[in-house]
Amino acid sequence: SRSINLAVIPGDGIGPEVVSQGLKVLSAVLPQDVKLETREYDLGARRWHRTGETLPDAELEDLKGHDAILLGAIGDPSVPSGVLERGLLLKLRFAFDHYVNLRPSKLLPHTATPLAGRPDIDFVVVREGTEGPYTGNGGSLRTGTPAEVATEVSVNTAYGVERVVRDAYERAQARPRRKLTLVHKNNVLVHAGHMWKKIFDKVGEEYPEVTTDYLHVDAATIFFVTDPARFDVIVTDNLFGDILTDLAAAVTGGIGLAASGNINPAGAFPSMFEPVHGSAPDIAGQGKADPTATVLSVALLLRHLGHEAEAARIEEAVAADLAERAGAPARSTDEIGDALAVRVAN
């Protein structure tokens, strides 16, 4: 469309620094006739300290009216672990039904990685985003006693699994290699694991051109390191996908380059784009953070909104920028953002 109404949640730590570079590149890449409107939301650690709020209903409602959300990072050591993660980030993913957590991994040339020189590494993880062990089901008994018990219950619905599996088949079908791997642990998690496999096989009947494969998650971690080129599209549950995509980032150029989209495919709610990395409080405010993951998340955002040419321009700019990094002095967050903005504008 000819206008983008974007909600921005800079968040905590390095979030605001990388988000401002993402916005800089976004403004630079958009043609004159696409009107960009942004509205910033003060959510995260500072807000929580000030008001005790994580994500009030009024703001959730307000966010709903945007075409997409750009998020920096959430989490700060001054806030008890889980408060912002559950109360803000996961609340957004659940409320906006972001059931496709899309995390592409492509080994760009000139990146520092143990797997350098493997241009054949190009896969995308479709991580389920609204179920599994993330739903918060479970509880504690006899807390603080020697007989304490804690449970976390993984919730898997046929509805939730089928829709994410179908999305993954669609993506595999649209890619040249047409290969889809299900990752789970159905030798131990027999209830959820067998349901995933059953649905995976059944939906697969509708996609005869897609080659399928199944791996237990532990075995998958080996292949992520020893033979990542075997993967094309991977579909997996929320927690396995969380762990696998950090590993994928580490082996394909580092967490500073990994982008993600929390997608509501039908568009009933705005999708949300964010770097895979966290708030990195140890380097916040020092201009050391690499904004590339956020810039690549902006590319995913543009692609989602139908601006394919602009998304591709950003990805090309990042590849060219990485090629120039080798041997050059380290640049600040701002300098990398400036360089990318200049490239996409040309």
Annotated binding site: 93, 103, 127, 218, 242, 246, 278-290
Least distance (Å) between residue 287 CB and ligand IPM: 23
Pick the catalytic residue from 197, 207, 214, 246. 246
Output the six-digit token pair for 53.
């709020």
Pick the catalytic residue from 41, 99, 134, 169. 134
C-alpha separations of 267 from 272, 298, 333, 336 in Å: 11, 17, 32, 32
Selection from ligand IPM, Mn ion, none that 11 binds (CB < 5 to 8 A by kind) is none
CB-nearer residue toward ligand IPM: 75 or 104: 75
Termini Cα distance of the chain: 22
Least distance (Å) between residue 158 CB and ligand IPM: 23
12 in contact with ligand IPM (CB under 6 A): no
Question: In angstroms, rounded to a whole number, what is the distance separating the alpha carbons of residues 49 and 26?
Answer: 31
Q: H or E segment at 247?
A: helix 238-251
Please check whether residue 111 is in contact with residue 252, taking contact to mean a CB–CB distance below 8 angstroms.
Answer: yes
242 in contact with Mn ion (CB under 5 A): yes
Stretch that binds ligand IPM, among 1-9, 85-93, 141-149, 281-289 (CB under 6 A): 85-93
128: DSSP letter: E
Selection from Mn ion, ligand IPM, none that 89 binds (CB < 5 to 8 A by kind) is ligand IPM
Beta pairing, strands 138-141 & 149-152: antiparallel
Selection from ligand IPM, Mn ion, none that 13 binds (CB < 5 to 8 A by kind) is none
Q: What is the dihedral of CA 16, 324, 341, 106, to 10 degrees?
A: -70
Least distance (Å) between residue 129 CB and ligand IPM: 8
Least distance (Å) between residue 76 CB and ligand IPM: 11
Q: What angle do CA 149, 153, 155 make, to 5 degrees?
A: 170
Pick the catalytic residue from 97, 167, 242, 321. 242
Stretch that binds ligand IPM, among 84-92, 155-163, 320-328, 337-345 (CB under 6 A): 84-92
Binding region for substrate? 93, 103, 127, 218
CB-nearer residue toward ligand IPM: 75 or 253: 75
CB-nearer residue toward ligand IPM: 276 or 280: 276
242 in contact with ligand IPM (CB under 6 A): yes
Please check whether residue 334 is in contact with residue 287, taking contact to mean a CB–CB distance below 8 angstroms.
Answer: yes
Give me the amino acid identity at 316: E
- Whether the CA torsion 186, 164, 89, 12 is positive or negative: it is positive
87 in contact with ligand IPM (CB under 6 A): no
Comparing CA positions, the residue from 260, 250, 293 lying closest to residue 93 is 260
Phi, psi at 96, each rounded to 5°: -100, 15
237 in contact with Mn ion (CB under 5 A): no
Please check whether residue 21 is in contact with residue 290, taking contact to mean a CB–CB distance below 8 angstroms.
Answer: no
Specify whether 159 is catalytic: no
Determine the size of the site formed for ligand IPM (CB under 6 A): 6
Residues whose CB falls within 8 Å of the CB of residue 282, separated by 6 or more in sequence, listed in order: none
Specify whether 169 is catalytic: no
Q: H or E segment at 268?
A: none
Specify whether 242 is catalytic: yes
Catalytic residues: 134, 185, 218, 242, 246
- Binding residues (CB under 6 A) for ligand IPM: these are 75, 85, 89-90, 242, 276
- Binding residues (CB under 5 A) for Mn ion: these are 242
